[in-house]
């Protein structure tokens, strides 16, 4: 029975990024609302009544083959097997396994799309997807195999095979055959009916899960980059003028103004800002922080708009309109909207990391009264020399990862699918960029906090001192050379988990 703490998927209520973040953080149980149940049932009933009424009218994927085989008629007695064959034949994923938190998000997003009531599936099929989600019984899905065109066919086949008692799942840390895992709850394998295999496989939920996941982490990186950049500026002896509101009113990009305002707030009350500034201008990595961070902020705002639209879309094919007595075959499964914004997300996040590495470099350069490589007795000690090498290598890799996947297309299915989005590749490399920038900002934080130590007893602002104190509980000041990789790993973890605001 539903409880007061459950979240009910409701077609008339949109899923937003903030709502998804709350659901994932609270680990809330997700159920179907009465509105969703009614829509699913109405569409399923309509489809089967139509098939009885017009048994010989071809409907793609229901009484025909798939892809280039769309003109092959399938007799009524073989249509259930057609759907099972579809799932089995399309489970061709390779490469690394999709991380569990992303598989769980795929289950939720697939259930959400089907709950909108235009896919013709059984109510129990959608409910079973939510059963897997709520029990954290996670299908084993592989990262490679999708062209992002007829949706994410191979990943979604692996996601949905366990509904039939096929494939593998992970449950409570164990990898199990799906049939064995389902027996723990006395779940019987589903019998797929007309169109259900197609509805489960067609869709963008692999790309979309990555987009949601990366965007949530990228929003955290935006906040972290402003805070760490402000700390680096203050420790470097940077000037406040580039953040003056009057400058940004003359070039009123929303993100630029927001980034400048945030740095002004973060520096309020800093003793260091009251000290003389011998340099007339700062390097671009400090002076142009509002413009670069702001451009990434604006880019991610657009990405969020597209991702939220996709979260509330029907992306399988064909699409059923019971009220109009119509079934339409179209291309809503094509991943181009997500492919483009995933490439855009990767580039926007990579630029945060690119600027961060330059600030790290400046802090280590022995300028403005700071010792070379931010360590006493440089020469005997290398200090933070080599973390900048690491950062430079990561920035270079990000440049390679930012080559747009969406610019590519390879013909498939005997020419029937003659343009594909490659959005799945955009998705997996966007996640790698996000992870890389978490490490880059961690290295900058390590460096900026170290530089601040050489400014003592002067203090930065109360807001930034609070961040430094929290960081110092994890990573101590570098008095002399020590093994540094644990510090770098801890710094990246701090960036990922600290409550940036």
| DSSP structural state of residue 60 | T
Looking at residue 404, what is its pLDDT? Answer: 97
Q: Which of 209, 207, 202 is nearest to 331 (CA)?
A: 202
Instruction: Tell which wins on pLDDT, 274 or 64.
Output: 274
Confidence of residue 78 (pLDDT cuts 50, 70, 90): confident
Kindly report which listed range (101-110, 413-422, 485-494) carries the lowest average pLDDT score: 413-422
How far apart are alpha carbons 442 and 430 in whole angstroms?
18
Looking at residue 278, what is its pLDDT? Answer: 82
Kindly report which listed range (54-58, 115-119, 441-445) carries the lowest average pLDDT score: 54-58
Mean pLDDT (whole number) for 388-400: 98
**Please, what CATH class does the domain formed by 7-203 belong to?**
mainly alpha
Residues of the chain with CATH 1.10.275.10: 7-203
Task: Encode pLDDT of 301-337 as tens digits.
Answer: 999 999 999 999 999 999 999 999 999 999 999 999 9
Task: List the catalytic residues.
Answer: 60
Looking at residue 412, what is its pLDDT? Answer: 87
Residue 30: strand, helix, or coil: strand
Q: Which of 123, 198, 133, 145 is nearest to 169 (CA)?
A: 133
- Looking up tokens 């759907």 gives 83
**Please, what CATH class does the domain formed by 210-497 belong to?**
mainly alpha
Confidence of residue 448 (pLDDT cuts 50, 70, 90): very high
CA 75 to chain centre: 42
Task: Encode pLDDT of 89-114 as tens digits.
Answer: 999 999 999 999 999 999 999 999 99
Contact 459, 364 (CB under 8 A): no
Checking if the pLDDT of 1 tops 60, the result is no
Task: Encode pLDDT of 176-194 as tens digits.
Answer: 999 999 999 999 999 999 8
Pairing type for strands 30-32 and 7-9 reads parallel
Looking at residue 72, what is its pLDDT? Answer: 76
Q: Which of 468, 443, 439 is nearest to 453 (CA)?
A: 468
Residue 252: strand, helix, or coil: coil
Contact 164, 181 (CB under 8 A): no
Checking if the pLDDT of 369 tops 90, the result is yes
Residues of the chain with CATH 1.20.200.10: 210-497
How many CA atoms lie less than 13 Å away from 67 in the CB half-sphere?
Answer: 17
């Amino acid at each position: 029975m539903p409880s007061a703490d459950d979240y009910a998927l409701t077609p008339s209520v949109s899923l937003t990024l903030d709502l998804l973040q709350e659901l994932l953080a609270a680990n809330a149980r997700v159920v179907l609302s009465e509105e969703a149940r009614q829509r699913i049932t109405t569409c399923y009933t309509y489809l089967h009544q139509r098939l009885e009424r017009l048994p010989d009218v071809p409907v793609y994927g229901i009484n025909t083959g798939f892809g280039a085989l769309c003109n092959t008629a399938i007799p009524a007695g073989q249509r259930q097997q057609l759907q099972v064959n579809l799932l089995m034949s399309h489970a061709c994923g390779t490469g690394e396994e999709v991380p569990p938190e992303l598989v769980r998000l795929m289950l939720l997003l697939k259930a959400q799309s089907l709950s909108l009531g235009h896919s013709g599936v059984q109510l129990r099929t959608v409910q079973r997807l939510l059963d897997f989600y709520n029990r954290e019984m996670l299908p084993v899905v592989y990262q490679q195999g999708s062209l992002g065109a007829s949706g994410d066919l191979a990943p979604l086949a692996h996601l949905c095979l366990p509904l039939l008692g096929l494939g593998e799942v992970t449950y409570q840390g164990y990898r199990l055959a799906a049939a064995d895992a389902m027996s723990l709850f006395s779940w019987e394998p589903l019998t797929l009916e007309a169109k259900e295999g197609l509805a489960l496989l067609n869709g963008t939920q692999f790309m979309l899960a990555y987009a949601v996941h990366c965007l949530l982490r990228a929003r955290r990186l935006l906040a972290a980059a402003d805070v760490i950049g402000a700390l680096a500026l203050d420790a470097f002896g940077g000037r406040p003028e580039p953040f003056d509101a009057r400058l940004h009113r003359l070039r009123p990009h929303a993100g630029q103004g927001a980034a400048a305002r945030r740095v002004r707030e973060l520096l309020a009350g800093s003793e260091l800002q009251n000290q003389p500034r011998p340099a007339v201008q700062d390097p671009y990595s400090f002076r142009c922080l509002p413009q670069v961070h702001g451009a990434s902020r604006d880019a991610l705002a657009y990405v969020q708009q597209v991702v939220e639209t996709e979260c509330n879309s029907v992306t399988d094919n064909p699409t059923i309109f019971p009220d109009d007595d119509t079934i339409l075959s179209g291309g809503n499964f094509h991943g181009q909207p997500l492919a483009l914004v995933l490439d855009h997300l990767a580039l926007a996040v990579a630029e945060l990391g690119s600027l961060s590495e330059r600030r790290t470099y400046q802090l280590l350069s022995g300028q403005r009264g700071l010792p070379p490589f931010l360590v006493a007795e440089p020469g005997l000690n290398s200090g933070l020399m080599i973390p900048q090498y690491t950062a430079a290598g990561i920035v270079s890799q990000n440049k390679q990862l930012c080559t747009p996947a969406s610019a590519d297309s390879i013909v498939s299915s005997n020419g029937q699918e003659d343009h594909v989005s490659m959005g799945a590749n955009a998705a997996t490399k966007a996640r790698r960029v996000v992870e890389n920038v978490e490490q880059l900002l961690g290295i900058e934080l390590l460096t900026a906090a170290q530089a601040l130590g050489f400014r003592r007893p002067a203090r930065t602002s109360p807001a930034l001192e609070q961040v430094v104190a929290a960081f110092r509980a994890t990573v101590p000041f570098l008095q002399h050379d020590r093994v540094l990789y644990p510090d770098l790993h801890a710094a990246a973890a701090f960036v990922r988990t600290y409550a940036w605001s």
